[in-house]
Amino acid sequence: MNSNLLLQTRNLTKSFGGRKMIDSLNLHVMKGDIYGFLGRNGQGKTTAIRLVTGLIFPDSGEVMIDGHPLRSDFKKAISNVGAIVESPSFYGYLSGYDNLKLMANLIPGIKKDRIDEVLDMVRLSRRAKDKVKTYSLGMKQRLGIANALLGSPKLIILDEPTNGLDPQGIKEIKEMIVQLASERNITFFISSHLLQEVEQICNRIGIIDKGKLLCEATMDELTQTANSKSLEDIYFDLTGKGGDLA
């Protein structure tokens, strides 16, 4: 096995009600990647994330995280992962700090100064003592990422992290992801239907359509083989679709 391979899926398959949502999915996320997982809504992105985080089980196939099979070695595998699969939920009447303190109590071995550290990492130190109900949506999303960081994971999985955010909130999330990846050596797996944002921050991408992986490559490889086309043009060439991904 490649020692730089952090997340791998092997022929991952999942059906609901007779509909195949994930079809023989083979993903390869390398250490240090900011990996963009692209596809229209309803094409299997969230189902894939639920499978790789152990929230649901596949019909067949395997998930490997840092060399550990998720199904048979769940604790070791999932200890490497922090994730936001849906919009993060917090107690609005508590401060950001106190919310994280509650979460930290669920993770063995988390020291008090780790809470301060992750709040600093997501640029919330100055608002740490303010009640979460006073936070903007972007701040709540950053608090969610702080929560995902508590256990010092190697991999952070984010499902549509900029959904519903205003331009300032989107900018803050993108800058934070790039900074954490470069300064803290954290690998990111980001599902999105927003092509421009993925193109701006991701070094590798996978494109899914109807549960099938159509393409997996670095951004450089894609643009070189597609004669310097934009990611949007490449996406629509591969899927044979035009218009919005929503």
Give 222 or 73, the one with higher predicted confidence: 73
Give 62 or 85, the one with higher predicted confidence: 62
CA 207, distance to chain mean position in Å, is 14
Question: What proportion of the chain, given as a percentage, has pLDDT over 70?
Answer: 96
Structure-block tokens of residue 138: 């972007």
DSSP at 107: S
CA angle 208-209-211, nearest 5°? 80
Which of the residue ranges 43-57, 84-98, 159-173, 220-234 has the most confident prediction, judged by mean pLDDT? 43-57
What's the CA dihedral at 184, 70, 201, 119 to 10 degrees?
-40
pTM above 0.75, yes or no: yes
Confidence label for 224 from pLDDT (cuts 50, 70 and 90): confident
Per-residue burial over 168-193, b = 16 or more CB atoms within 10 Å of its CB, e = otherwise: ebbebbbebbeebbeeeebbbbbbbb
pLDDT tens-place string over residues 188-217 = 999 988 888 888 899 999 999 999 999 999
Which domains are delineated in the chain?
Answer: 1-80+155-162+186-246 (3.40.50.300)
Q: Which of 47-51, 127-131, 225-229, 230-234 has the lowest mean pLDDT?
A: 225-229
Q: Is 40 helix (H, G, I), strand (E, B) or coil?
A: coil
Question: What proportion of the chain, given as a percentage, has pLDDT over 90?
Answer: 67
pLDDT at 246 over 50: no
pLDDT at 100 over 80: yes
